[in-house]
């Protein structure tokens, strides 16, 4: 199951680093491709030569080696999965804070693949509120944290904090890469994200403040669950590097609609997260509109409602998910859209909630299902919200399969 999987193994300074040799051996035996990145502290616990020999490639540990920049971006993009085992309290705290002071922390920040942590430390450290809050923070951003074991610790004490055994880590990875870990394997998805820009003249447009982050996170979460994804992305400085996502960049609602309709009929899952302009200028001036002494009146016309069109043309078995960004009568409006646009799920975010909605990195949503389900979620990072949305989609498939 791990055959050909590209795994970057990060080894940090913990006595459990001696188990990394066995872990590399198990991964290589499964025909995974393993590249090892060590921190300086790890080299005190296990020799790089051991891990180079077992992995079949030279261990990397420096950002700059013999005046040559070590390309952490390439390594981050190469990986199907970044596994940090053992993950020391120190590295967990750096990664939670976004510190970048060695090759491993740089690879972490530039990777777009799933990240799995196998923490290892003494019990007192593990239970410290600082470590626990870092672990929670990393988990809330969509990283996976493997449970620590209980037993003898390096200090001689007995308690919690042992790194998961290499066999357990291998089992987790096999599950992750198996059909059970990738429940949307073989499914296709189409996601819209970002704003649209509706031109007024060659230099001006009507737009909105959407960053596209929520939809991009949904596309990435769908890929992690095994789906093949097309992302139709409005004008935003954000993008995605996740392998398995084909990106079509568009400007206007009309272009977004056309890109969607080209692909929608053959797609299993449609998630419309874009903040599409509802109106556009009735005519676009071919020349820059000149200032004049009087007021300027604009006549606006409706743009195509992509979600509504998809609802009308929905094929049996297709799952259609819409978003609803509301400032008043949130639930009523969301439920009306769910019904009128023939959706299976609608994700409501209220602009009244602190930390929810446009621009930021967090969101607070409620997901309504057409069968009457309603699930409220706490404030989370957009990638964790995306994982909840994908989970709701997977649950829908389970319900359909069972009925
Ligand atoms: O009705 P309202 O515009 O609030 O619905 C929001 C939902 O509809 C979002 O999922 C958004 O992506 C989608 N939408 C669309 N095309 C439009 C307007 C909204 O697909 N022209």
Q: What is the pLDDT along the chain (403 residues), one digit of tens a residue?
A: 899 999 999 999 999 999 999 999 999 999 999 999 999 999 999 999 999 999 999 999 988 776 666 677 788 889 999 999 999 999 999 999 999 999 999 999 998 888 999 999 999 999 999 999 999 888 877 788 998 988 888 878 788 899 999 999 999 999 888 877 889 999 999 999 999 999 999 999 999 999 999 999 999 999 989 999 999 999 999 988 776 789 999 999 999 999 999 999 999 999 999 999 999 999 999 999 999 999 999 999 999 999 999 999 999 999 999 999 988 999 999 999 999 999 999 999 977 777 777 777 888 999 999 999 999 999 888 888 999 999 999 999 998 888 8
User: Are both 256 and 344 inside the same structural domain?
Assistant: yes
Given 177, 206, 238, the domain boundary residue is: 177
Domain residues for 275?
188-402
The binding-site residues of ligand 1, defined as CB within 6 angstroms of any ligand atom, are 192, 253, 272-274, 276, 278, 303-307, 322-324, 337
User: Are both 193 and 337 inside the same structural domain?
Assistant: yes
Ligand 1 atom nearest to 277, measured from its CA:
21
pLDDT of the residue at 67: 64
Measured by CA distance, the residue closest to atom 17 of ligand 1 is: 305
User: Are both 173 and 192 inside the same structural domain?
Assistant: no
Q: Which positions are catalytic? A: 208
Pocket test residue of 263, 277, 306 for ligand 1, highest count of atoms within 8 A of CB: 306
User: Are both 323 and 381 inside the same structural domain?
Assistant: yes
Ligand 1 atom nearest to 192, measured from its CA:
12
Q: Find the 341 Cα to ligand 1 centroid distance in Å.
A: 10
User: Are both 393 and 278 inside the same structural domain?
Assistant: yes
Q: Which residues contact 108 (CB under 8 A, 6 or more apart)?
A: 10, 76, 82, 84, 95, 115
Encode 38-84 in three state secondary structure.
ECCCHHHCCCHHHHHHHHCCCCECCCEECCEECCHHHHHHHCCEEEE
Q: Residue 84 forms beta bridges with which residues?
A: 10, 117
Q: Residue 301 forms beta bridges with which residues?
A: 280
Q: Find the 278 Cα to ligand 1 centroid distance in Å.
A: 8
Cis peptide before 149 (omega within 30 of 0): no
User: Are both 164 and 200 inside the same structural domain?
Assistant: no
| End-to-end alpha carbon distance in the chain | 30
Q: Find the 272 Cα to ligand 1 centroid distance in Å.
A: 7
- Euclidean distance between CA atoms 293 and 289, whole angstroms: 13
What is the number of structural domains in the chain?
Answer: 2
User: Are both 150 and 194 inside the same structural domain?
Assistant: no
- CATH number, domain with residue 343: 3.40.50.10300
């Amino acid at each position: 199951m791990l055959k050909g999987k590209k795994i970057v193994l990060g080894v940090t300074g913990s006595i459990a680093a001696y188990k990394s040799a066995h872990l590399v051996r198990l991964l290589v035996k499964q025909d995974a491709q393993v590249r090892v990145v060590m921190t300086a502290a790890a080299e005190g616990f296990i020799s790089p030569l051991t891990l180079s020999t077992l992995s079949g490639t030279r261990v990397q540990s420096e950002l700059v080696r013999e005046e040559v920049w070590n390309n952490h971006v390439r390594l981050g993009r190469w990986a199907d999965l970044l596994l940090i085992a053992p993950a020391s309290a120190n590295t967990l705290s750096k990664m939670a804070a976004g510190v970048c002071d060695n090759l491993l922390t740089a690879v972490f920040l530039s990777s777009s693949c799933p990240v799995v942590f196998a923490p290892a430390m003494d019990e007192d450290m593990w239970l410290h509120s600082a470590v626990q809050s870092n672990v929670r923070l990393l988990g809330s951003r969509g990283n996976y944290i493997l449970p620590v074991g209980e037993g003898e610790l390096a200090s001689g004490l007995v308690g919690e904090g042992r790194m998961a055994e290499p066999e357990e880590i291998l089992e987790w990875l096999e599950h992750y890469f198996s059909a059970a870990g990738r429940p949307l394997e073989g499914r296709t998805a189409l996601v819209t994200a970002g704003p649209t820009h509706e031109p007024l003249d060659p230099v001006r447009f009507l737009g909105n403040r959407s960053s596209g982050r929520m939809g991009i996170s949904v596309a990435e979460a769908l890929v992690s669950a095994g789906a093949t994804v097309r992302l139709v992305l409005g004008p935003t400085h954000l993008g995605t590097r996740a392998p398995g996502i084909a990106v079509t960049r568009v400007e206007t609602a009309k272009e977004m609609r056309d890109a969607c309709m080209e692909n929608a009929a053959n797609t299993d899952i449609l998630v419309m997260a874009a903040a599409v302009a509802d109106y556009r200028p009735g005519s676009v001036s071919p020349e820059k509109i000149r200032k004049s002494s009087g007021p300027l009146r604009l006549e606006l016309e409706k743009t195509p409602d992509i979600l509504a069109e998809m609802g009308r043309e929905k094929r049996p078995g297709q799952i259609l998910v819409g978003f609803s960004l509301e400032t008043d009568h949130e639930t009523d409006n969301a439920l009306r859209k769910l019904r009128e646009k023939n959706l299976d799920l609608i994700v409501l975010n209220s602009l009244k909630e602190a930390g929810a909605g446009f621009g930021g990195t967090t969101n607070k949503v409620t997901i309504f299902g057409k069968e009457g389900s309603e699930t409220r979620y706490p404030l989370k990072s957009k990638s964790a919200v995306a994982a909840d949305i994908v989970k709701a989609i997977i649950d829908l498939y389970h319900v359909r399969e069972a009925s």
